[in-house]
Amino acid sequence: MTSARNRRPLIAAGTLLGIGMGGFVDGILFHQILQLHNMLSARRPVVNLVNSEINMFWDGLFHALTWTMTALGIALLWRAGQRPEVPWSTRTFLGSLAFGWGLFNLVEGVIDHHLLHVHHVVESLGPSVWDLVFLASGLVLIALGGLLIRRDRHSAATRPGAASTP
Amino acid sequence: MMRTIVLSGVFCALTATFNAVHACPVCNEPLGQQVRAGIFDETFGSNLVATLFPFAIFLGVVAAIHGGGKGPCEGQDVGPQTSPSAANDARTSGARS
């Protein structure tokens, strides 16, 4: 007897949490601790208090959205934990986290750094190799996450009580 | 005499920090008004789109993952139980997980 299993809820939850983790690393480490850039630092250079406060507002909105992604991820993870057909796999979850983090770096990097030019990784340098390093880190994390998820596709088992099929 | 010097020092320190700059968006001060004007200027819409756009894509990707059709994420049960709920079940029933 075998049970239908579905990893999608776990992958979706892990991806959202990975996006949140990536966003918070960007916001906390790059925006606040290292102060390499801010949300609109290419449009509003942080050269005076007013521009600093304006960037603080947009950084806050960015953090609020990142928090929302994390909250949604927790909600999806909670629901996935209640579904017996969803395998509770550490490898799949870690892969999803890496995939989400990479997705954040890639999408945020392409849109904000390269298409809209609202900021760059090291604002004092403008467009620089660090923007490409950021994109590359996204690709590496996506590849790593995808590999972990794919390798786990046969080994992740369902839990007892899952709907069974003959 | 010493006490007067210490008190004077404290007073000077308090005085120096008293003139805090109120530049928050809701502060009704000249700097606060500049901040408000800088946020809600003609670029507000494009700045909002720039901030929201990546997150809209994230939600779209996650929705596609969550609601996608049958693929490599689905299949047949092939291995042993590893979930925390199963471990709890096993603990409560006294069985080994």
A56-89 per-position pLDDT tens digit: 999 999 999 999 999 999 999 999 999 999 999 9
Write down the domain spans for chain A. Answer: 4-155
Structural domain count, chain B: 1
Side chain identity at B66, as an amino acid letter? H
Say whether B75 and A53 touch across the interface (CB within 8 A): no
Say whether B83 and A116 touch across the interface (CB within 8 A): no
Say whether A154 and B82 touch across the interface (CB within 8 A): no
Say whether A9 and B66 touch across the interface (CB within 8 A): yes
Domain-located, residue B40 = yes
For residue A161, count CB atoms less than 10 angstroms from its CB and return exposed for 0-12, middle for 13-18, buried for 19 or more: middle
User: Do residues A58 and A140 lie in contact, with contact meaning Cβ atoms separated by under 8 Å?
Assistant: no
Residues in chain B, total: 97
C-beta pairs of A78-83 under 8 Å, 24+ apart in sequence: A79/A9, A79/A13, A80/A9, A80/A10, A80/A12, A80/A13, A81/B83, A81/B84, A81/B85, A83/A6, A83/A9
| CB-based contacts of B86, cutoff 8 Å, min separation 6 | A88, A159, A160, B97
Please report the residues numbered 106 through 145 in chain A whose beta carbons come closer than 8 angstroms to any beta carbon of chain B. Answer: 107-108, 111-112, 116, 118
Please report the residues numbered 37 through 76 in chain A whose beta carbons come closer than 8 angstroms to any beta carbon of chain B. Answer: 39-40, 43-44, 49-51, 53-54, 57-58, 61-62, 65, 68-69, 72, 76
* Three-class DSSP labels, chain B: CHHHHHHHHHHHHHHHHHCCCCCCCCCCCHHHHHHHHHHCCCCHHHHHHHHHHHHHHHHHHHHHHHHCCCCCCEEECCCCCCCHHHHHHHHHHCCCC
The alpha carbon of residue A149 and the mean position of all alpha carbons in its chain are separated, in whole angstroms, by 16
In terms of CA atoms, which chain B residue is nearest residue A152? B73
The partner residue sitting opposite B38, judged by closest CB among A6, A16, A50, is: A50
Domain-located, residue B42 = yes
The alpha carbon of residue A120 and the mean position of all alpha carbons in its chain are separated, in whole angstroms, by 18
Rounded to the nearest angstrom, the minimum Cα separation between A7 and chain B is 5
The 10s digit of each residue's pLDDT in A4-63 is 789 999 999 999 999 999 999 999 999 999 999 999 999 999 999 999 999 999 999 999
The Cα A90–Cα A10 span in angstroms is: 10
Domain-located, residue B6 = no
Q: Which of A18, A21, A54 is nearest to A38 (CA)?
A: A54
pTM, rounded to two decimals: 0.80
Which chain A residues are closer than 8 Å to B57 by Cβ?
A: 107, 111
- ipTM of the prediction: 0.90
- Residue-number span of the structural domain to which B49 is assigned: 25-53
The 10s digit of each residue's pLDDT in B14-28 is 555 555 667 788 888
Domain-located, residue B5 = no
Domain-located, residue B19 = no
Domain-located, residue B30 = yes
DSSP reduced 3-state for A30:
helix
The 10s digit of each residue's pLDDT in A101-152 is 999 999 999 999 999 999 999 999 999 999 999 999 999 999 999 999 999 8
In terms of CA atoms, which chain A residue is nearest residue B80? A157
Domain-located, residue B11 = no
Residue A159: pLDDT band by 50, 70, 90 thresholds?
A: low
